[in-house]
Chain A
Amino acid sequence: MVVKVYGLPISTATRNVMTTLHEKGVEFELVIVDLKEKCQKRPEFLKLNPIGKVPVYQDEEVTLFESRAINRYIARKYEGQGTPLLGRTPTERAVVEQWMEVEGQYYFPSIWAINYQLYIRKMFWGEGPDLDIVAINEQKLTALLDVYESRLSESKYLAGDFFSLADLSHYGHTEYLMTKSGKSHLINSRPHVAAWWEDISSRSAWQKAKNYGSNPQSAPVTISDAPKKSTTHIGAWPGLTSGGSKMEAHSWGKTPPSISLMTS
């Protein structure tokens, strides 16, 4: 059974999981869950994740939600191939876990709030930002990034001299902070954080996930009620980058059954 990821190419957490799979060289199929149509709240999806969020990961052994848990599972299951993502020793692994928690408990809540107000709300529903929320979270993120600057001045990556899941977990939202929320100065004003971001965001696994293509010949299965317009209907969402890159053959295999639904 091929690995399935239920999610959306623009979802930060979906991107992080796709990145992990690319880092490990694991083939997968992306099953689109139309968030705009709130398909993640439908019974068939809630069976996969009762919390009603993307992504969900599925292989022959397990169905999992929560991207950080999914990424740990992938990193461990495919320990013997691709990029090591959990360090090389138990001690290194411990430090990876520590910085994953820093991301999950401090970085993510602040950066999510900023991105939600300044980009996601507008993109999904055309709503304007609550600037008070932005201000509070910018303050928190600023204090946090001071600690990151200090850490990254003594360590090339967050957990040490090696790239790991700790760094990877920062991808999805940092990308939006840098390119959509108008707050890139928070990163760029800190030389070590900026250099770290430059380094990790150049990795090909992230580039593949970020530039997830919209090749109509390889359209994935879709969970959606949205009227099936042309194959470019995903690309019509403001801010969604199609990247123009061809989807790699390994992601899709043969023509999936939904191809007739995706074409007008």
Chain B
Amino acid sequence: MAVKVYGIPLSTATRNAMATLYEKGVEFELVTVNMKEGAHKRPEHLKLNPFGKVPVYQDEDVTLFESRAINRYISTKYEGQGTPLFGKTPSEKALVEQWIEVEGQNYYPAMSPLNYQLFFKKMFSGEGPDEAIVATNVQKLNAVLDIYEARLAESKYLAGDFFSLADLSHYAQTEYFMKHSGKSDLITSRPHVASWWEDISNRSSWQKTITYGSS
């Protein structure tokens, strides 16, 4: 049974899952969920993910939601092929897990509201940003990025001298932030964060998600 990913290319979390599959050289079929028509909130999709979100991953063994969990599963299942995404030793893996949590608990909660307020909100509802929310999260993100700048000054990638799921987890939100939020200076003003982003965003796995669907 071919691997299926239920989602859409616009969805940040879907793209992160696709990037992981590309890194591992795993073929998959993207099954479009028509979110514009509310398909993700209908019974058919809720059977796959009761929280009504994308992506959902499905193979012959399991159906999974939550992209970080999906990506961990893919990285483990296909450990023997493609890019190693968890480091080479248990200690390296521990650091990968740590920085995946930093992304999930610190980076994402600050950047995702900014992307929503400054890009997605207008696209979905035509409404402009709530400036108070923007200001609060710019402050939070600046504090987080100071920590990243210090870390990346001593380490090429977040978990060490190797690319990992920790870096990959930052892809989609950062892509939108850089291209559509008008706040890319938060990244570009920090030389080590900027060069880290330059490096990881040029990986072919990420580039494939950008050009997905175009022939």
Q: Which chain A residues have a beta carbon within 8 Å of chain B's beta carbons?
A: 50-51, 61-62, 64-66, 68-70, 72-73, 76-77, 90-91, 93-95, 97-98, 100-102, 104-106, 109, 147, 150-151
Interface residue? B22 (CB, 8 A): no
Residues of chain B with a CB closer than 8 A to A105's CB: 66, 104
Residues of chain B with a CB closer than 8 A to A93's CB: 73, 76
In the assembled complex, the Cα of A69 lies from the Cα of B166 at a distance in Å of 12
Taken residue by residue from 88 to 100, chain B's Cβ proximity to chain A (1 for < 8 Å, 0 otherwise) reads as: 0011011101101
Residues of chain B with a CB closer than 8 A to A109's CB: 109
10 closest A-B pairs (Cβ-Cβ)?
A: A66-B101, A101-B66, A97-B69, A69-B97, A98-B69, A69-B98, A94-B73, A73-B94, A69-B101, A101-B69
A104 touches B104 (CB 8 A): yes
In the assembled complex, the Cα of A102 lies from the Cα of B105 at a distance in Å of 12
B98 touches A66 (CB 8 A): yes
In the assembled complex, the Cα of A67 lies from the Cα of B105 at a distance in Å of 11
Would you give 29 A-B contacts (Cβ < 8 Å), ordered by A?
A: A50-B147, A61-B91, A64-B98, A66-B102, A66-B105, A68-B97, A69-B94, A69-B98, A69-B101, A72-B97, A73-B97, A90-B61, A90-B73, A91-B61, A94-B62, A94-B64, A94-B72, A97-B66, A97-B69, A97-B72, A97-B73, A101-B68, A101-B69, A101-B104, A102-B66, A105-B66, A106-B51, A109-B109, A151-B50
In the assembled complex, the Cα of A104 lies from the Cα of B66 at a distance in Å of 10
In the assembled complex, the Cα of A90 lies from the Cα of B70 at a distance in Å of 12
Q: Chain B: which residue is nearest A65 at the CB level?
A: B98
In the assembled complex, the Cα of A150 lies from the Cα of B97 at a distance in Å of 30
In the assembled complex, the Cα of A190 lies from the Cα of B207 at a distance in Å of 46
A interface: dominant SS: helix
In the assembled complex, the Cα of A93 lies from the Cα of B68 at a distance in Å of 13
Residues of chain A with a CB closer than 8 A to B26's CB: none
Interface residue? B142 (CB, 8 A): no
Supplied contacts A61-B90, A62-B94, A98-B65, 8 more A-B pairs, CB within 8 Å: A62-B91, A66-B105, A73-B90, A73-B93, A90-B73, A97-B73, A100-B69, A102-B51
In the assembled complex, the Cα of A129 lies from the Cα of B192 at a distance in Å of 40
A62 touches B69 (CB 8 A): no
Interface residue? B151 (CB, 8 A): yes
A231 to chain B, nearest CB (A): 34
A51 touches B102 (CB 8 A): yes
Q: Given A98-B65, A98-B69, does the pair A68, B101 have CB atoms closer than 8 Å?
A: yes
Interface residue? B150 (CB, 8 A): yes
Interface residue? B106 (CB, 8 A): yes
